[in-house]
Amino acid sequence: MREVQPARGAVTPSLLGAVTALCLLLGGVVAGALELIESDRRQLADKFAAERLAHADEAVELTRRDLEGVAVVLRLASELVEGPEADAETGRELRALLAASEHFQHLAVFEPDGAARLSVPNPRLSSKGPELEVEAALRAAAEKAEARRGELQISEPLSGGERSRRVVAIAPANADAHVVAMLVDSDQLLSKLRLLASDPATNLLLLGPHGRVSAPSHPRLAAVVAASSGLQPEVAQLVGHLRRGERGTQWMSGAVAASMGLGDAEVLSTYAPVHTDGLGQWGLAVLTSTSVLRDAERSLTTRLAAAAAVIALVLIAFGVFLVLASRRAAVTGERLLHAERLARLHERTEKTLDNIPAGVMSLTHDLTVSSVNRVLRERMPQVVLPCPLAEALPEAPASVLERLAALVGAAASTQFVQSIHGEQLALFGSEGQYSVHAVPLGTAFDEARSLLVFDDVSEVRSLESQLLRAEKLATIGVLAAGLAHEIGTPLGIVRARAEYVHGKLGAGHDQARGLQVIIDQIDRVTRTIRQMLDFSRVRPAAVRPVALAQVATWLQEVVRYEAQRRHVALSVEVATGLPDVSADPDQLQQVLLNLVMNACDACREGGHVTVKARVAGEAWPSAELAVEDDGCGIPEEQLQGVFDPFFTTKKGGQGTGLGLTVAAQIVRNHGGRIELKSEVGKGTRVAVLWPLARTNGGRSTHAA
């Protein structure tokens, strides 16, 4: 029987299926475009909110420091008025204190019974006395401070005047102490907050420590919040966040923004507390109109819609081509096209996985490893795939393998990615910090039901730790410099007066010994202050080639008698012919002397301290200077803090805790590295890797 052929131009089932598939694909493109638009809009909004919150945090931190500076100045003024100097001398010191900043406008000192003792204006502003309302405000604040001695008191903003002013007062806990009150320009103190409102679309709302609106709040926002009654729920919620000292972001609708005179676009409210030591808690809100963000979203939507339209036109043209082409040619061509795409996709997928810096492992339903990428192949032993997970990771403990299996099981049951973030895991023999992600792939392919992604974050965590440590050291250095400067001058005055009295009384007087103790202790504090200043401003290194043999000879001569006094055996093992190091000789000697003295302190009588030097490293040639002792050692929980400022394991009065910190800072300034290993009861080894000196030809120089 002759086969019936379909009529020319008839729509065959295969062609109808292709057209249907084309329509579904077109719908998928439209849905994907809409989802992409919504996803980009959310990402844009989240990024915008994060940036605004970061800017608010920076301004809040700067303002907090300025506000706490007022408390520091007021406490220092309170200490000055309690000194033995006459009022004229105290007045000069207070004027010098006020002249440090134009924020401080006037300072008044009251007796415990309320009588005025001193009235000191800021010499940089005016030498006149305060206005009547300012004088009344100073007295009122002093009365409040007298009622609550030992606590800082801050007034509400003073009425009148072109600028916002407040009075801060303190009465020491001692009932006989004077009360000090100071008028400050809160507009200047809070001036850094104005930087947040540098563009017209941004407005500020600031609540003071009394919960009332304060400058530099926008007038419209101040009026809305000051009304208190009839607040819209979103505005009331924002005010609640501020008064509770919370931090975060909040979106306000266009209708609410329009009611406050902020335009008809949505408003992003970024709020953060300003915590201060003694001046209460302030609340800051930055309200930013999203009109610019809305324009960007519209532009992005237009571009994506145009791209989707182009894709749709391409798909429609492809459908017309299918309809017009012959049935057999279309089917054959489609199969070849799909086969080629699958081959390219497979090749691209393999190359992509191989070049991902993280390790990727595919698993079957029974946790059999079916494939791994290049990163894992370089770290795993030679195994034949597929193989069980335990054979692929033979060096991992059983507890780690069980945890990985549980992670994959949880991902498969929930169909969501499950992760372990930055934990210590012994996956390849040695412990390291890894983030592990289990990714479910469904049941489409038996050989790849899920993926395990291993991301080694050990170096990142180490760099983060070093960065945090550097920031902490920088902060402590600034604090140490300021504290040393503030303490040094009063101590010098106290010592001079004690020495004067001692000279008047003579060495045979009953009180002469006590005065000498005062002078000795002040000298000890002064030495500590000098060390703090040395730590906060280590002088730059004037490097030149230095022979280690010469340094070793100097070290033996300097430390020999001290080691003999402590009954500790000191040996210096530095072979001749070692390359010179690039160093400032004085600073290199300071580092070695510090390490050797610490080692001697850690040893008991009969202990041993050894100093060795050798060339170490191939990629980075350097000299290793090691100081070893068999002393008491350092507990493991204290090893992380040995290079921190003011950390010491010595008894009180025997060390400032700055020696190792300064030594480590000097080593880093020379481009070197310092490492410490210790075991309780066995001793400590401190190794300094110091860069070698270079000649014009690039080779290390050698000692003669």
Radius of gyration of the chain (CA): 37
27-66 pLDDT, tens digit per residue, is 776 777 677 766 766 777 777 778 777 877 777 777 777 7
Higher pLDDT, 340 or 478: 340
Instruction: Kindly list the domain boundaries of the chain, sorted by start residue.
Output: 82-189, 190-291, 357-456, 474-536, 544-691
Residues 376 and 354: their CA atoms lie apart, in Å, by: 9
The pLDDT value recorded for residue 325 is: 65
Same CATH topology for 82-189 and 544-691: the answer is no
* Cis amide linkage into residue 386, ω under 30° from 0: yes
Does the model's pTM come out above 0.85?
no
Mean pLDDT, residues 656-664? 71
The pLDDT value recorded for residue 485 is: 60
Residues ≥6 apart with Cβ < 8 Å to 108 = 116, 118, 119, 120, 130, 135, 138, 139, 142, 180, 181, 182
Instruction: Specify the CATH number of the domain 544-691.
Output: 3.30.565.10
Instruction: Count CB-CB contacts under 10 A for residue 134.
Output: 19
Q: Which of 63, 47, 62, 56 is nearest to 247 (CA)?
A: 56
Q: What ranges make up the beta strands (E) of 432-580?
A: 432-440, 450-456, 544-546, 569-573
207-223 pLDDT, tens digit per residue, is 777 677 776 777 777 77
674-683 pLDDT, tens digit per residue, is 888 888 888 8
Residues 280 and 299: their CA atoms lie apart, in Å, by: 45
The pLDDT value recorded for residue 479 is: 65
Contact indicator for 690, 672 with CB cutoff of 8 Å: yes
pLDDT beyond 50 at 2: no
- Report how far apart, in Å, the C-alpha atoms of 358 and of each of 378, 379, 403, 425 are: 12, 12, 19, 15
Residues 310 and 69: their CA atoms lie apart, in Å, by: 62
The pLDDT value recorded for residue 486 is: 67
Mean pLDDT, residues 356-371? 82
Its CATH architecture, for the domain 357-456, is 2-Layer Sandwich (3.30)
pLDDT bucket at 1, cuts 50 / 70 / 90 = very low
Place of tokens 């000051």: 226
Structure letter (DSSP) for residue 198: -
pLDDT beyond 50 at 450: yes
The pLDDT value recorded for residue 525 is: 75
The pLDDT value recorded for residue 701 is: 44
Mean pLDDT, residues 440-463? 77
The pLDDT value recorded for residue 466 is: 64
Residues ≥6 apart with Cβ < 8 Å to 650 = 601
Structure letter (DSSP) for residue 427: S
Residues 372 and 450: their CA atoms lie apart, in Å, by: 12
Residues 526 and 545: their CA atoms lie apart, in Å, by: 34
The pLDDT value recorded for residue 472 is: 65
pLDDT beyond 60 at 537: no
Q: What is residue 2's three-state secondary structure?
A: coil
Instruction: Cite the DSSP H helix spans in 325-454.
Output: 327-355, 374-379, 389-392, 398-414
pLDDT beyond 80 at 109: yes
Residues ≥6 apart with Cβ < 8 Å to 427 = 393, 395, 396, 400, 434, 454
pLDDT beyond 50 at 698: no
CATH of 82-189 given 1.20.1260.10, 3.40.50.150, 3.30.420.40, 3.30.450.30: 3.30.450.30
Element (H, E) at 368: strand 368-372
Q: Which of 252, 214, 247, 211 is nearest to 235 (CA)?
A: 252
Mean pLDDT, residues 145-172? 74
pLDDT bucket at 599, cuts 50 / 70 / 90 = confident
Instruction: Specify the CATH number of the domain 190-291.
Output: 3.30.450
